[in-house]
Amino acid sequence: MSRYDGVIATRRFGLGARPGDIAAIGGDSRDYLLAQLSKPEAALLRDAALRPSHEVIADFMRARLADQELRKGRPPKGRPPGAPAPEPQPQAGQQMAPMAGMSANGMDRTPASPAAEGPFPAMTRTGPAAGKAKRPLTNRGQIRRDVWQAEIEARVHHATTTDAAFLERLVMFWSNHFAVAARKSGLVRVTAGAFEREAIRPHVLGRFADMALAVEKHPAMLFYLDNFNSVGPNSKAGRRRAKGLNENLAREMLELHTVGVDAGYTQTDVTNLARILTGWTVPGLKQNRFEPGKFAFTPARHEPGAWTVLGKSYPDRGIASGEQVIADLARHPATARHIARKFAAHFVANPPPPGLVAKLEKTFRDTDGDLGQLARALFTHDEAWNLPPKKLLPPYDFLIASLRAFATPVPARAVAHLSAALGQPIWNPPSPKGWPEDDDVWMAPSSIRERLRIAGQFAAPAAAKADPVARARDLLAGAITPAEMQAIARAESRLQGTEILMMSPSFQRR
């Protein structure tokens, strides 16, 4: 194995090298990745300020009820006295107005501490995640703001400091595969981070069926795809209140989460699966039989009857019927093909190499969807190492790779705003399909100009710490081209050389 393999290990299968990482990996890059698979706990986030989703949901519901009570007898418009204005959220490609203490591009304008260098304050845990005890919050604006900031801080801090960056990439892949978008509603926004922590991270090296079940039962997914208010027309609740069936979760479960759009399912399969999933909901404050905010199965909303999905009939066994459908979909041959293609396209190349896809598909089937074995099959296949780096780093990955490479102190909230300015707001993909694998979405001229401007911001403190030629050899040894190295060496200043390094194809692609 060469130092070039070390670069592939840290970039194609990770989040970019930190100073000294390539040298520390040494002779066998595959052993470096294999060692990470023995530590599933390294994928978890443990932070006292990150509250369980059901607690946050209950607080949000109480705050909404309080708002409604406060508005009785008052004009419907406006906010309750003392409630802060809702924080604006950027959409893909949208420039944000400056936050307090920040410039228009998301860089912090707060005076730096003596230890900080350049335009960024030290990346300290100063927000809600900074050691504050768990506590109930009192209004929806505060809940949206504080919960979001705590989750973002924990995620960014973990990504920039973890020694198991391959596991973090796996988390990011599966979080995007089972995508939720925070823009859908306040309830999705305050649970999007918890969704990744509670449904994705614990299963990232486990079985696909277990992850799928955790995902489909999680409140964030039930809110995002509207299954929380899906009611069987012939159920007790449906007959009493004329409520209807919602097919969103069933459709995306088939099209995106499991068998894929080309598996041959029909509209009847979608409708029948939606019927089976009726009663899968998130209780509110007034449903005394259930704990508010936690997944629950409510028989009164469940559509009675036996239903057929993909040729298999499921007798009416309440919640057990839905759980069995998910288990069967997870083991379906079409799911193995769908996951294998998507996994290879994400990590290696799009379109993916057929030989690699075939190996991943076989591994998925033979191991009953063991995701740790799937990851191992990925990086032990020669094509995963031999193909040249062609995939452009998505915005969030580019920012995290820069933070890891240059140890530049940037607050997590700035990372979130910069990622949004580049077109990739965190936990806010454009649709249930998640972020696309095609590079074209990140290659617009305005996006490239924004990368260049951000590179200049990162380069200023980085250039003061190390010579860019030495940094390039440390981070990209064996991968950076002679032409790129020559351009860095001939730069007029260390600042310009660092900018060239950051914008080089070897740094921008994996």
Given this model, what pLDDT does residue 54 score?
A: 97
Those residues of the chain that have pLDDT short of 70 are 1-3, 73-138
Given this model, what pLDDT does residue 74 score?
A: 55
Percentage with pLDDT > 90 across the chain: 81
Q: Look at residues 94, 95, 157 and name the one whose alpha carbon lies nearest to residue 126.
A: 157
pTM for the whole structure: 0.88
Phi, psi (deg, nearest 5) at residue 409? -75, 110
Q: Give the model confidence (pLDDT) of 247-287 as tens digits.
A: 999 999 999 999 999 999 999 999 999 999 999 999 999 87
On the CB side of 89, CA atoms within 13 Å amount to 19
Given this model, what pLDDT does residue 135 score?
A: 54
Given this model, what pLDDT does residue 377 score?
A: 98
Given this model, what pLDDT does residue 282 score?
A: 98
Contact 36, 42 (CB under 8 A): yes
Given this model, what pLDDT does residue 241 score?
A: 85
Given this model, what pLDDT does residue 26 score?
A: 85
The residues, ordered by sequence, that sit 6+ positions from 17 with a Cβ below 8 Å of its Cβ are 6, 7, 10, 11, 404, 405, 474, 475, 476
Given this model, what pLDDT does residue 67 score?
A: 85
Cα–Cα distance, 343 to 351 (Å, whole number): 11
Enter the DSSP assignment of 201. G
Q: Look at residues 231, 165, 234, 238 and name the one whose alpha carbon lies nearest to residue 13.
A: 165
Given this model, what pLDDT does residue 242 score?
A: 73
The beta strand positions in 189-233, using DSSP E, are none
341: three-class secondary structure by DSSP: helix
Cα–Cα distance, 201 to 304 (Å, whole number): 34
Given this model, what pLDDT does residue 262 score?
A: 96
